[in-house]
Amino acid sequence: MRLLLALLVLAVARPWARAADEHWCYEIQKKTEPNCLGPKEWKWDCQKKRQSPINIIASNAEVKKDLGLFSFSSYEKKKKWNVTNNGHTVLIDLNKEAKIEGGGLNTEYQATQLHFHWSRNLTGGSEHSINGEHTAMEMHIVHQKKQLTSKSQRASENTSEDIAVLAFLVKVGSQNDNFQPLVDILPTISKPNTSTAMNEPVSLFDLIPEKEKLKDYFRYLGSLTTPECSETVVWTVFQEPIYLGKDQVLPFSEKLFYDKSRKKNMTDNVRPPMQSLEGRSVYKSYSSAAPERLLPLALTTLLVPALAYLTAGSL
């Protein structure tokens, strides 16, 4: 009888234990929620070796010629997007309407959602860093690989690149009017699990740098930066930042909250870039190497006439 009771207790306890394991949070939340799992304690795939984010050392990135221009579809469509405070970030549901191809990707990807990471510290809100430099925020446009039709195709598919994330570092600069419709509605979704629609239509092209400035980027294989940290992401980190006014960045930390009682400001929702490369390569787009290629060409242009003159003088 005692054994039976013990087994029943264990059966009931296990689901609760799993639920506790799933209560993950950011480091700043552990100050008031000691029972939640901070980034160093995240489980699932978070302890594997192909994790994100990373610090990108630009000089170590290898030029890859097939990392050319992206092709964007429906990025120009303006919509009053639905925006949600999901308890971890601000998320915009993109409904797989916009798509990307090219940029060294092996197929078409459909945009599922867009979200942000940020901090009150205007040099500590990005998850990725370039040459050790962090920025005020980071914006991720998340894309899912277009589903294959046949069962045999799906079975042979490489899942290591199921998700393509376009990452944009956000720096403080001049006011960005295209972002104001998003900033304006932040107070209406201050509590977790609340949603609202933008008051004005905005396109994805409105939110990212001009198309001609998207030629330069870094590429590596990594993971989601939140649990379960699935290692299924092909990352594109653009060199050209997005610029927002200081009064547009700070409302993310001031108007949004982790809790329903609105006592814990939602800020520092970043996974530290403590992830080791573990033998992975970081690549940069072909256009990023243009200045390096131009120098030898310029020297050649100057040296050829000079050598010809010297040779003629010696005859």
| pLDDT, tens digit, 9 for 90 and up, residues 145-182 | 987 544 544 444 567 899 999 999 999 999 999 999 99
Catalytic residue list: 88
| pLDDT, tens digit, 9 for 90 and up, residues 224-246 | 999 999 999 999 999 999 999 99
Give pLDDT, residue 158: 62
pLDDT at 17 > cutoff 60: no
| pLDDT, tens digit, 9 for 90 and up, residues 173-211 | 999 999 999 999 999 999 999 999 999 999 999 999 999
Q: In b/e form, how buried is each residue of 277-310, taking b as 16+ CB within 10 angstroms?
A: beeeebbbbbbbbeeeeeeeeeeeeeeeeeeeee
pLDDT at 143 > cutoff 70: yes
- pTM attached to this predicted model: 0.84
| The two three-digit tokens of residue 308, written as one number | 């010809």
| CATH architecture assigned to 47-148+159-288 | Roll (3.10)
φ, ψ dihedrals at 285, nearest 5°: -65, 155
Mean pLDDT of the chain: 86
Give pLDDT, residue 289: 62
Residue intervals in the chain for CATH 3.10.200.10: 47-148+159-288
